[in-house]
Each structure stands twice: as structure tokens, then as C-alpha cells.
A and B are shown apart, each in its own frame.
Chain A
Amino acid sequence: MRKLESLLELLIQRQVEFVVVGGYAAVAHGVTLLTQDIDICCRFTPENLAMLEKALADLHPVHRMTTHRRPFDLARDWRPDLKNLYLDTDWGQLDCLSSVLAVGDFDAVQDQSVELGLPTGRCRVLGIDALIKAKNAMGRLQDKVAAMQLTSIRERKRQEEAVRSKPRRGRP
């Protein structure tokens, strides 16, 4: 069963340091395409990945790209050059990335993120400008469609801001 929103809330509650990127971030911005996973960019330190492992412990996380869907076990999986984790859990797929194409490493991603309020807490989501860059850099058809929607949404937001900031006649 996929419960992507619950998966996200779990990461927030367990204080994993991450930024939501990819298709789920696009959905938060208003894109209408369905995605079957959550992509996060997180700090690939042993401490942060230990928080991630602890958060997912009850959800039977496995490496979904391995032949036998090997269980996620940080003690065995940790290497200093570890870049990405492609996991499947009882609540859905979770891709953990150490960097985002056309944006940069975790610090660059965090710098270009916005804070989002959810009922169970606050989390950071990649900002619309950076997400458009990342989607255009991916170059797949689905990413191009997402980039077109995001560009339209950004244009709409800018129009709305321009209207709001325009001084009204007859008012001080």
C-alpha cells in the first residue's frame, strides 16, 4: 500500500535532514502528474542516514534496485562515497539522493528550497526555480511536461504578485 504523505510525515517527525525534490515536490507546487515515489535530497552523513534508517525501521525498507531486494542495513551499506539510496518500503518508494542534477549538493538544494507547512510539521521542498532547472536537465518526456506546468505556475504566481503589489487608486 502506498502512503506517500505518511512516509513524508514520518521523516519529518523523526527529524531526518532532507529536502523533497522530484515529482512529489512538483505536486506540492501544483503539478498534476502522478508519481509513485518520493525523491528526497538528504545529507549523506552517517548520522543523518542513521536517523533515516531508524525512521524506516518498521516499514521493512529494501534496496529495490538489487536483484534480491536486499534489506537496507546502514552498518553494511555505508561507504564514504555512497551517493544514492533507492528504497522500497511498506508505504512506498523512497529515493534518497545526495545531489540534484543542475542544482547541486545538499547545501545548494537546501539553499534553494522553501519551507512547507503540513498538518504534522514543517518540511523543506525544492523551490520552483530550481525544480524547473532540474526537470529540464533530466530531459525525459515526463520531466518536460512537469517543467512546462511548473513554468506556467511560476508565471501565474508572478502575475498575481504583480497585481498584489500594484498600488490601488484612491487608497493611501
Chain B
Amino acid sequence: MDYVKAFLIGGLICAVVQIFMDRTKLMPGRIMVGLVCLGAILGFAGVYQPFIDWAGCGASVPLAGFGNTLYQGVKEAVDSDGLLGLFRGGFEASAAGISGALLFGYAASLIFDPKMKN
């Protein structure tokens, strides 16, 4: 059942974004920024975390999940550290993902060479 939910919800989010992309012709970078901000807003609204608890990776793997992670990190840090938490929480919660992308990305640039476009 986990897998069915992940497939259907994850697929559905991607399908909706596809419609949005076809209609607006927005660049991929803008779409990603939009999704992360949307995820943070939905996290703030208290919607996204329950959504992840229900849909699992169908909700957490799309980039909106990253935005939600950022907001949840800030919220937890504010609860424990007050105002200083605003400056700590986002990076604390997203550290693994960001470091991973940068480190693996850098390693890949050492190993692989740019491919010619066909």
C-alpha cells in the first residue's frame, strides 16, 4: 500500500507540474524555486507534514518536501532556541541533502567529462 500511495501521489504531483509547465513555459529552475517555496508555505500552514505522514515518499521526494523540511527545521529550532533558531533551523534540517548534492556533484565533476550533445 505504501508503494501504491507513493507512486500515485508522487506521479500526481509531477503530472500537475507538467500541466503547469506546458501552460506557462516556465524554466525548470523557476519551477524548482516555486516548489520549494510552496512546500515551505504548506508546511507553515500545517498541511504538508500530515501529507507526508500519509503519502510517504510520494510527498517527501518531490521538491516541495524539501521546502517543508526547511520550514519544519526552522520551526523546531525556534521552539528550542527562540529567535536564533530562525537562522539555524533551515540549514540544520537540510544539511544532509545540500551537502550530499554538493559533495556527490563535485566528485562527479572529477570523474566525468562533459558529453557532446547529439
Is B one of A's binding partners? no
Q: Which A residues are within 8 Å of any B CB, using their own CB?
A: none
B interface, CB within 8 angstroms of A: none
